[in-house]
Structures are given as structure tokens and as C-alpha cells.
Amino acid sequence: MTKRMRQGAMAAAALLLGTAAGCAEPERPATHDRPPHHGPAADGAAKKGGFTLVATGDVLPHDSVIAQGESDAEGDGYDFAPMFAAVKPVVSGADLAICHMETVYGEEGGPYSGYPAFVSPPEIAQGLKDTGYDSCSTASNHSLDDGADGVRRTLDALDKAGVRHAGSARSAAEAMRPALMKAGGAKVAQLAYTFGTNDNPFPEDQPWAVGLLDEDQIIADARAARSAGADVVVVSLHWGTEWQTEPDAEQLELGRKLTASRSGSRPDIDLILGTHAHVPQPYQKVNGTWIIYGMGDQVAGTMTNDDGELDARGNHGSIGRFTFAPPAAKGERWQVRKAEFIPQMMDLDTLRVVHLPEAVKRDPGREDYREIQSDISEAVLSRGAAADGLTMAH
């Protein structure tokens, strides 16, 4: 999972993506089965046509995660929903919930594999749906671990489960479409890109199979999504340097350029969601737009860092939650009225995601949970996000 140089030829080919706004699919409501909001998310903006958006980090099924999914199914295939049970209220309680599906799926029944070439059970898609996810980014350095067949099986399984997706494609036409969804009174578009594919070659005659990082293309795609009717444009970026809490120079530069891009007085991009680094990275408001440089891992097995050492940070992450309010006038931007984060971790003893604020409240004696929550919060707030209103939700 080491970071590779971006494939120049593929980046050039990626210019074929996303320029035909007229090809956009009708948006899918993301709120049809949502329970009423409770707690911090239920503020005035969400009640008056606004919406809440929740985003989470890498779903990275190592062999131990796959084995736990099989165990939880009790002899009937695989069941991954129990892993997410602790954060299901947060995910399902949002109007729109976005995950990052790091790996590709295999055939039903297997074979499956973890690191270094991931091929995961397709039942993960149903687990994500059962948790409340509406859409997932699928562009990562592992998107081509099993070639075109892996891309196809992954998107087929997500479609079957009713989870939208952005970042990889089965056809050139599909690559030109953002995921368009309805949330509250808004149409929300999700786009997704990765820095590379671990030197796995693109399938022959399929330069559109995975979206690659390219500043001009991302902006063009965002504008096309806006032309296709999106009120809010969310961009998922698989970027950064693994095991580094601080965003690297490329993240900082690209983040500044993307958030500075405007059409008239309106920004082209409304929110950036980062993945890949395996550790929690900061949130920051740049040019008036929130960037999560990296949410860390949501689901993963035992993680080894670049020095070959076991690194517990690889099982730490944050959930981002943003409450958007409608614009004051037609054609203006939807504003983030509340920005929150929730520390979470994957407990390797139970192979369950832990909602840390709830866990600490429930068991104040768990000093390990308390320390991890503090470490995640320190990373998230390390670039001054608190001054712009970011708070930890409990």
C-alpha cells in the first residue's frame, strides 16, 4: 500500500472523464428511509430544507476482517453489518452518508484475499447499506487490484445493495456521471479520484476505469456536476502520504487550488473528503470550504507502518458531520452551518468499530479509549479548525 508516483499517461487519459453533464443519471433520494434526527444534528438548518452529511474513512478488509464477517454470518456467507453497529446511529441518522470503499470485490463464494492485493466479499456492500450509507467513493490505489473484473464486481454489488458510487466505472458513459443524490432540499453530487493504482495497469482501452487526480479535470467535472443540477458538490480524494498526520505539500497545494476555483461568485466545490493516509489527519477551512485531509481507517485489520512496525494509529479515524443550510438567495452557495467530528476506532480485540465518545461516556475507566480519543482530536484540530467552529460531537 505504498504511495506510488501518479501515472502520467493515465492522468492524460483521464481528461476523457466527466465533461458531458447531460449524461447525468436522475438523482436518487438519500432520505427515503431515514429516521428522524436526534441530538446535535437536529438543528434549525436541517429542519428548514437543509441537510446533514456524514463521511467516514477507509474500509480496508484485511484477512482478519473477512474472517470476522464470515463468523458473524454464522454459517450463511458473510455479514459485515455487526462491525459498524456502534456508528450506525450516526450514519443512518444523517440525510446523506458517504463511505470510502478502498478495495474491490470478488465473486460470491470467493476466493478472497487481504493485503497486498485485496479482493473482498461482495457482502460488504449490503453491510454498508444496512449501516445507512448512501454512496461510497471507489477510487483508490487498490481499485485495479483485480483488474476490470474487480471494478465490475464491486460496482455491481453496490448497485444491487442500493449504494451509489463514484470514482471507478464499467463504461466511459458511467465515468462521465457523478453520483447525484437528493438530501433535504438539495441535490448533492459526489466525485472521486485517486493519486494512482499501485502501478496496476489500466485495462486495455479503458482509461476511464478509475478517476485520477488532475486539478483541471476535477474542476471541469465539478462544473459539469453543477450544470447537471447539483446544489452541493462533494469531492472525495484518495491522496496524501501514508502514516503522516500532517497533510503533505501536494494535499495543501491541491486543496488550495480546488477550493479557490469559482464560477462567478460561487465556489465550484463545496466539501473535500480525504482518504488514504491510514491515520487521522486535520480538518481545515480553506478559502471558505472545509477540507478533511484524511479521515483515517474506519475498518481495517492489524496495520504495519512503513518502518515495518505495528502501528495502532492505522485503526483510528474520524467521522465528519456537516450541516448545510439553504442559500439566502437563488444561485448562492449552500453554507455549512455546523461542522463536527466524531473520533472512532477499530477495536482489534472485538473487530468492531468503536464510537469513542459514547464508549468513553459508557465506561470512564477505559483510559485507552480516552487517550485514543484525545490523540484523534489533537490530529483533527491541529490546523486551527476549532477557530472556524469545528467541534467534537458526543
% of the chain surpassing 90 pLDDT: 86
pLDDT reported for residue 43:
53
Query: What confidence tier does 48 reach under pLDDT thresholds 50, 70, 90?
Result: confident
DSSP 3-state of 370: helix
Query: What confidence tier does 144 reach under pLDDT thresholds 50, 70, 90?
Result: very high
Residue with cell 473520533: 343
- Show the cell assigned to 295: 479521515
Q: How many helices (H) and strands (E) does the chain have?
A: 11, 20
Tell me how far apart the alpha carbons of residues 78 and 85 are, in angstroms, rounded to a whole number. Answer: 15
DSSP 3-state of 297: strand
User: For residue 371, with 0-12 CB atoms within 10 Å meaning exposed, 13-18 middle and 19 or more buried, which class applies?
Assistant: exposed
Structural domains of the chain ordered from first start: 8-392 (3.60.21)
Query: What does the pLDDT look like over 280-299, one tens digit per residue?
Result: 999 999 999 999 999 999 99
Query: What confidence tier does 173 reach under pLDDT thresholds 50, 70, 90?
Result: very high
Residue with cell 480485540: 349
Mean pLDDT of the chain: 91
Tell me how far apart the alpha carbons of residues 71 and 295 are, in angstroms, rounded to a whole number. Answer: 28
Kindly write down the DSSP assignment for every residue of 150-193, as one continuous string: HHHHHHHHHHHHT-EEESB-SSHHHHT--EEEEETTEEEEEEEE
Write down the pTM of the prediction.
0.91
Tell me how far apart the alpha carbons of residues 370 and 361 are, in angstroms, rounded to a whole number. Answer: 9
Dihedral sign computed on CA atoms, order 294, 57, 289, 177: positive
Q: Which of 210, 234, 211, 213 is nearest to 222 (CA)?
A: 234
